[in-house]
């Protein structure tokens, strides 16, 4: 039996790349989305049933065009992993509001775009799964994270709301909230004081945070449960993360 389509946003690195590797090993057809397609194409994958598209998730038309292209090849989307995200640390007293907007657009509106693209068909078919990647910062506060925390609290809230709305149609909305992890999220931070503070905190964990592979395995575990079972939320962090 042909396996169903998996769609992953932010697939060029970090959690998205590791999630893609796991599903690729089991020969799922995939649509991998990101702004840096050359990085996705450099991943150690079998690309026989993999479509790679350059997509900014804040552009709903571009996003939907890519999904429909993949569905024409591989059938309807069975899993959407809303993984694309931006973390721009900064103190709200001085942070450039353009960074607030960038995070809101990507972390919240990008997730909503993806859900609106795939959910109507999932509801009609009465099957399907959406896994939204949030953060421990969607459950508790961190200094120099105000706008980022706001976006991730938003992802938590919208995920639970939509879960309630589609649960009667056998559609699963789940959320994974990772703690600090070894990804590229910090590479775009422009506030050096905020970055120094984060790195000093990271030293309390021995200078190394959680491996992204652990988060990918969590996503796969959620998806592999029977459709009648929805793991609503998993918070996952390094054992020695103290916050």
Tens digit of pLDDT for each residue in 131-166? Answer: 999 999 999 999 999 999 999 999 999 999 999 999
Which residue out of 28, 74, 148, 198 is catalytically annotated? 148
Beta partners for residue 233, in sequence order: 175
Q: Can 148 be counted among the known catalytic residues?
A: yes
Distance CA 126, CA 104 (A): 30
Distance CA 217, CA 7 (A): 16
Provide the whole-model pTM.
0.94
From residue 68, give the alpha-carbon distance in Å to each of 56, 92, 172, 237: 15, 39, 21, 35
More confident site: 70 or 182: 70
User: What percentage of the chain reaches a pLDDT higher than 70?
Assistant: 93
Q: Per-residue confidence at 223, pLDDT binned at 50, 70, 90?
A: very high
* 92 pLDDT above the threshold of 80: yes
Which domains are present in the chain? 5-234 (3.40.50.720)
Distance CA 33, CA 126 (A): 25
More confident site: 104 or 189: 104
Q: SS3 for 141?
A: coil
């Amino acid at each position: 039996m042909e396996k169903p389509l998996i769609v992953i946003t932010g697939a060029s690195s970090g959690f998205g790349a590791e999630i893609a590797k796991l599903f690729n090993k089991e020969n799922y057809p995939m649509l991998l989305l990101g702004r840096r397609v050359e990085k996705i194409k450099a991943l150690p994958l079998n690309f026989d049933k993999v479509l790679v598209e350059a997509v900014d998730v804040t552009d709903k038309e571009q996003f939907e065009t890519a999904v429909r292209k993949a569905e024409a090849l591989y059938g309807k989307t069975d899993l959407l992993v809303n993984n694309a995200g931006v973390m721009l640390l900064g103190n709200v007293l001085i942070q450039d509001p353009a960074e607030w907007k960038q995070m809101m657009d990507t972390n919240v509106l990008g997730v909503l775009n993806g859900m609106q693209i795939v959910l109507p068909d999932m509801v009609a078919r009465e099957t399907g799964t959406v896994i939204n990647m949030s953060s421990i910062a969607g459950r508790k506060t961190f200094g120099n994270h105000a706008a980022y925390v706001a976006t991730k609290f938003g992802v938590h809230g919208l995920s639970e709301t939509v879960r309630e709305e589609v649960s009667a149609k056998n559609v699963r909305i789940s959320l994974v909230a990772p703690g600090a992890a070894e990804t590229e999220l910090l590479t775009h931070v422009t506030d050096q004081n905020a970055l120094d503070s984060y790195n000093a905190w990271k030293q309390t964990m021995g200078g190394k945070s959680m491996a992204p592979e652990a988060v990918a395995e969590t996503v796969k575990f959620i998806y592999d449960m029977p459709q009648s079972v929805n793991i609503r939320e998993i918070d996952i962090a390094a054992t020695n993360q103290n916050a």
